[in-house]
Structure 1
Amino acid sequence: MSEDDEVLGGHVQEIRRGSVVLACLAVLRTPQYGYALLSTLDEAGFPVDANTLYPLLRRLEKQGLLSSEWNTDESRPRKFYVVSPLGERLRDEMAQEWADLGARIESVLRGGTP
């Protein structure tokens, strides 16, 4: 990978970082366990490494944006996550900010002013 590719990749990664939080809050309207969430996000075009997702889930839970519950009904216990009321509020605010930001970026890309 060239130095230019590394620079570009770093900037693209910065854009994606915040979008993964919003995508998680959107997907977790219904409870999912970590591995299923990885698959769902990947299918939706948000590939996330497990070493990134699990710390993110713990952080969002600690912040009160997610709640979790262990399901021990199956042979293998799984921790299911779901968005909390505070997480729903943040998701809605982030989605609105995302839409507003996208419109402003489109405007400046077309040569207009935001």
Structure 2
Amino acid sequence: MVETPEKLHRMVMEVRRGALTLAVLLALAEPHYGYSLRKKLAAKGLEIDEGTLYPLLRRLEEHGLLSSYWQQEEGRKRRFYQIDQGGEVALAAMRDEWQSLDQVIGHLAEEH
């Protein structure tokens, strides 16, 4: 049975959601405000829109994985985010899981 385009889109977005969390935690090893983080991720080939990024940042901060602070920069007050100790612990676990899954999927893809 061929999936409908909507179902396929949802499946792809489900895979992407977990990858975005991992990418954001990795990128926040140094402080960034939202727009600078979007630019950094885009420069690496990962586009993320504001409607996805800002709720993700708030959720990660609520879960104790990020800290944030306000800072004046270029005449504007910006909220900067950075991974904190809880985020480092989560990042290590997520990175290990990602590498394990990548290895398994790579082996399965070779058989396909």
TM-score scaled to structure 1, two decimals? Answer: 0.87
Aligned partner of 1:87 in structure 2 is 87
Within a 5 Å distance, the mapping from 1:39-78 to structure 2 comes to 39-72=39-72, 74-78=74-78
Q: Aligned partners of 2:10, 2:45: CA distance in 1, in Å? A: 18
The change in CA–CA distance for 1:111 and 1:74 in structure 2 (over 3 A counts) is closer
Aligned partner of 1:33 in structure 2 is 33
CA RMSD of aligned residues (A): 1.8
1:22 deviates by: 0.4
Residues matched between the structures, number = 110
Stretches of structure 2 lacking an aligned partner (at least 5 in a row):
none
Q: Aligned partners of 2:20, 2:49: CA distance in 1, in Å? A: 11
Q: Deviations over 1:60-103 (max 9, x none)?
A: 01111000010025421000000011101111111110010011
SS at match of 1:105: helix
Structure 1 window deviating more from structure 2 (94-103 vs 69-78): it is: 69-78
Aligned partner of 2:110 in structure 1 is 110
TM-score scaled to structure 2, two decimals? Answer: 0.88
Amino acid at match of 1:50: E
Q: Percent identity?
A: 44
SS at match of 1:77: strand
Stretches of structure 1 lacking an aligned partner (at least 5 in a row):
none
1:108 deviates by: 2.2
Runs of 4+ that moved beyond 4 A? none
